[in-house]
Amino acid sequence: MTRPRRALACAAAALVLVALAGCGTAEPMPTPTPTSSASASAEPTPTPEPTLVLDGTAEENRLYFDQVNQQLIQSGAALSGRAFADNLIAHGYPRENMEVTPDRTAINEPADNVVFSVRFGDTCLLGQWGNIGYTSLVTDVLASGRCLLGTARPA
């Protein structure tokens, strides 16, 4: 290829590239603009202290239930089903709505875990304490009208 032809080919290629570059232009990205926000300077809203809601559901009472049980655990008191039941009753839970599993096994050994419950209408709050630590659960009342399966003793 001769020099003038090469220059002409390069110029044509450059024009094609410039033309193609113009076809693919993207919309410019919007630049975020700072806004003033009332929430940025406002004090955080304090979380209300959990309370007992006797005419509420198990879910509505779970935070208070957990708080009361955690306080007992952290107190260093001897922990048993009776201790959890007495503590819950002292904090307003009705004894007649409670069930507790035995603290000892059928062969009179300490139970690995004790489960205690409070019924709220058609829902139950269950707490468990033992070799797994503490946990709680909200569930529906069983067909029997109780919260716990198996042998439970009055609170």
Position 72 pLDDT exceeds 50: yes
Choose between 58 and 154: higher pLDDT. Answer: 58
* 69-82 average pLDDT score: 94
The pTM of the full predicted model, rounded to 2 decimals, is 0.68
Give CA–CA dist 109/92, Å, rounded: 31
Q: For residue range 83-107, list pLDDT tens digits in order.
A: 999 999 999 999 999 999 999 999 9
Query: Looking at residue 10, what is its pLDDT?
Result: 47
Q: Which residue has the tokens 């050994």?
A: 109
Helices (H), 28-91: 38-41, 58-75, 81-90
